[in-house]
Chain A
């Protein structure tokens, strides 16, 4: 449809709704056509399901909604329903003279957004526009969420060219994208939210300058009192949001922690390998961009895992992917995982994977879910530092879906693994690109000389290109400097996993919290971790885009707490890393 007509139609909504009616009964077809016309809809009739399908396939955006009879000679109405849902993702209303519950249920199961009983009344047809509207709203919301993720994504590090201009651009776009959510529905006809190119620009870029400001601010505040808000205020960068700062902060902290771990000593304050990180980030950025591009090719919604998946995976799964759950801060009084009620959970979901994708090498950031909860998560358990392990879906995140494939990515092959020293460190974080992910599938947790050799190993999930998966090989962490990282890999086939649970989740935030505990307790940690991660997944559907609170409920592991000294910021002086009494607090705040 031509642009002008589009807008006109959109503005007249619901009038002008383009309806395709499919019914083998000529009498009904005529009646329905008349009724729909009276509702000011644009009606196209079809007496054969096969004709209807080819019509729909021919011009995907020619119709807004499909109404179909259940009983048709050439094709079962439910089959048509499935096809339309999968291929065109249009709302479909079923009709039948048979109002048996089982039939209605079947309709709903196959994805019908409504089931009308014949004889259909005009008043029922008058309201069918709500299904179209609802769908659009849902899609808008997803874009919105995507934007929020994008907003906090740290995509380009160390790139000299990037300056605040880009930052502002990104933020401006973010704002406009946000506004879009509130835009009157009538604008949907303009296919604005289908315009991925605009959406892509919404990114916060942490240039060297910006980062320097960040570091200065942190130093100024004092490591013991550092917090996103304070940093933001001090940085005084127009357009920068607290979310941006928060995620960046976590990112840096994580990096330093990695550094610290790998050096197996202290200090070293400096970023493990700024170069490496930068490279990774840069590479990741590339990848992300690639992802974005790929996504846009496939989907309307750029960047959302859902869309990535959509573009890559067989459409059959699209319906399953509802949204990406960004990393969320999981507030928990207890340590991570653990307390998973029954170990059966573990068994029942062998393929869980905590996708810890990190932009570049470290936890990607973002999540506005995380950010707002930051202050909240100051709770310390037993006064012990809590390590929160964040999972950032980031771009092209791994999804819990069955067949997702790796998005092609650049050739980066950064893999960082470090193992926590300590006497029985079992935790090693492996960050790798998707190529490595494949390897990781076979990879088993590094057996170390811990006491506890059980690892909760979940086969890795293939992550979308560019996503860095943080594999936490779970093990025992009991020493001061042992950070607990859960290795949660999901196998590419999460079919085994009760997808009903994670129906709507792709990348689920995973926060593991550990606090020191006795060795005995630690023994159970692995299983707990394992369980916890699974548990988390099981609850993901409850976790919305900011459902940190949900996790709090989920995670209740007072027993498994491992002291962690994760929060090491390389930029920050190493002194504060371990010695300060307030360390735990910092942990909280940093990883909140």
Chain B
């Protein structure tokens, strides 16, 4: 794909992500933080997020799978996940976490399980979106161009 269309595609894709609420302003902040001294900053941060989140999701599954569910623990994990998602601007994940916390408070196991499923869904969705984004960026750079700035 030639540079021009790559870049156009990038712009469209990114705009859609924001429009659909997958990403929010925090992600833009991260992009702004990236500079020559650290050209892979956003990628590094998002990678950290992926690692951390998946660990948390596993923990959540495990905790909710217990005979006697420790809701405090569940809540703690969800809180963490909420914080993490907020760090990169994964808005939809964050929103589900908020609902998830309510279920924990109510000690609603079913509700919690449902939320867990939802949050996993949102997480993997945003993960794939971001991976696409990074791929596009790589392609643009490989084609000798520069990644368009959307702010």
Contact = CB atoms under 8 A, between A and B. Distances in A.
B100 to A, nearest CB: 13
Interface in A87-121: 96-98, 118-119, 121
Interface in A13-48: 24-28, 30-31, 34-35, 38
Contacts of B86: 97, 118-119
A15 to B, nearest CB: 16
- Chain B facing A: main interface SS: helix
Given A119-B29, A119-B89, A98 B79 contact: yes
Given A25-B52, A27-B52, A34 B83 contact: no
Contact of B45 (A31, A69, A98): A31
A122 interface: yes
Contact of B83 (A25, A30, A121): A25
A470 B45 CA distance: 66
Interface string A62-97: 000000010101000000000000000000000011
B33 A71 contact: no
Given A30-B48, A31-B45, A97-B79, A25 B30 contact: no
A27 B89 contact: no
B137 to A, nearest CB: 18
A121 B33 CA distance: 11
Contacts of A119: 26, 29, 86-87, 89
B82 A97 contact: yes
- Chain A facing B: main interface SS: mixed
Contacts of A118: 83, 86-87
Given A38-B33, A97-B86, A71 B45 contact: no
Contact of A28 (B32, B38, B51, B83): B83
Contacts of B80: 24-25, 71
Contacts of B48: 26-27, 30
Interface string B19-39: 000000010011011000010
Contacts of B83: 25, 28, 69, 71, 96-97, 118
A21 B98 CA distance: 26
A122 B30 CA distance: 10
Contacts of A121: 29
B60 interface: no
B52 A71 contact: no
B76 A31 contact: no
Nearest to A95: B83
Interface string A344-379: 000000000000000000000000000000000000
Nearest to B94: A97
Contacts of A96: 83
Contacts of B38: 34
Nearest to B56: A25
B45 A27 contact: yes
B79 A25 contact: no
A97 B52 CA distance: 17
Contacts of B30: 31
Contacts of B7: none
A340 to B, nearest CB: 50
Contacts of A71: 76, 79-80, 83
A35 B87 CA distance: 12
B33 A122 contact: yes
A28 B41 CA distance: 13
A429 B145 CA distance: 89
A27 to B, nearest CB: 4
A534 to B, nearest CB: 46
Contacts of A34: 33, 38, 41
B54 to A, nearest CB: 12
24 contacts: A25-B52, A25-B84, A25-B87, A26-B52, A27-B45, A27-B48, A27-B49, A27-B52, A27-B84, A27-B87, A27-B88, A30-B44, A31-B30, A31-B33, A38-B33, A69-B83, A71-B76, A96-B83, A97-B83, A97-B86, A118-B83, A118-B87, A119-B87, A122-B33
Q: Which 5 A-B pairs have the closest CB atoms?
A: A27-B87, A119-B26, A97-B83, A27-B48, A27-B49
